[in-house]
Every structure is written in C-alpha cells, then in structure tokens.
Amino acid sequence: MSVQLKKGDVFLTRGNAIISRLIRVFTRGFGEKRTSVNHVGIVVKDGTLKSAVVVEALSKVVEHKLWDKYGPPNGDAVAVYRPKNCPPDEIKTIVAAARKQVKKKYGWLMIGAHFLDWMLLGSYVFRRLVPGDKYPICSWLVAYAYSEVGKYFGVNPGEASPDDIWDFITETHPELYERIYPLGPLS
C-alpha cells in the first residue's frame, strides 16, 4: 500500500548537513529536549510520496515534487502529518497562501534574528523586526499559511520554528494531526 499525501499536509525534515544541525541547535529552547527537525513545508497537490507536490522555502520559495528533493539517494528524514481540524475550504486557503509565496527570496536575515532571539533565551525581539512576508523562511511560510484560517502552532507565525511546529503537532496537540509518514528516509 502506497502512502497518499493530501493538500494541506505538513511535512517536516531532519537533515544531516551542518546548517541543518545548527538550525536544530539554535531553535531549541533552553531546557528543552533535543530538537527533532530543522525544516518544514506544505503539500499543495495530492499524490503518493513520489508524486505529491510541495511548497517550501529553500534558497527561495519553490514548488516541486517532495520525492525530487527528499527521495533516494537523499538521506534526510521526512515526516508527514495531516490536520484533522481543517475542512476543505480551509485547506484551499492554506494551499493558496503557501503558493502565493512561491519565487520569493529566502529570509536569511530571519535566520539571524532567530539566533539573536535564542541568545536572549527565546525572546521574540529580533524576529519581530524582520518582515517574514517579504523574505520567508520555511517555518514562517507554514505558520503563515495556517494562520490564514485561524490555525496556529502555539506561536505567532513570525516566532515559529520547525521545532515549534513539530512540538505542537507531535507533543502538545497530537489529537489535531494524523501521522501519515513517520520521521525517516523516504522509501
């Protein structure tokens, strides 16, 4: 039986590259357990793991098949979760909000702001000063798209990190999300 992804599904990844590891270190709150993921995106077209289309913020916001970036030989771990509390009209709005960001340049300044806020013990100071809508990062993109229908991952979109989204989905509100694919390499 093949895994079927649907529009609005959230995918999260854990990479092995140095930047991935640094993101996991600097988005972890003090006293919090080790961070599991460092990246997040949204499924915008239904399909199997090989054919589903996603939107994610890389060097710019792109739309492509999930498998093209994360399938073998890529060794990044991927997890997929489906919201249980979003009717079709909300999913349509979430997907449209994500697609609206395609082709925008990546928000490298926001990564720096996340680091500076981390240095201030997680305060929401520097991230507040960076316009996420002009230069989005992965977690802002997902949090913003969901906020368009009044859904949040426990923080404002500008504060969101992949770890915040992971914790909300898997730990604090697992009743709101169904695990479609466990964190591991795509196969």
Model pTM score: 0.88
Torsion angle in degrees (nearest 10) through CA of 90, 91, 93, 98: 140
Look up the CATH number of the domain holding residue 122.
3.90.1720
Pairing of β 10-14 and β 77-83 = antiparallel
Q: What is the pLDDT of residue 133?
A: 62
Give CA–CA dist 51/68, Å, rounded: 9
The pLDDT assigned to 31 comes to 67
* pLDDT of amino acid 60: 95
Residue numbers in the chain where pLDDT is lower than 50: none
Tokens at residue 95, please?
């997907």
Give how many domains the chain has, as a whole number.
Answer: 1
Q: Is 139 helix (H, G, I), strand (E, B) or coil?
A: helix
- Phi, psi angles (nearest 5°) of residue 50: -85, -25
pLDDT value for 131: 62
Q: Which amino acid is at 88?
A: P
Full domain range(s) for residue 33: 4-184
pLDDT at 22: 75
Q: Can you give the pLDDT at residue 4? A: 98
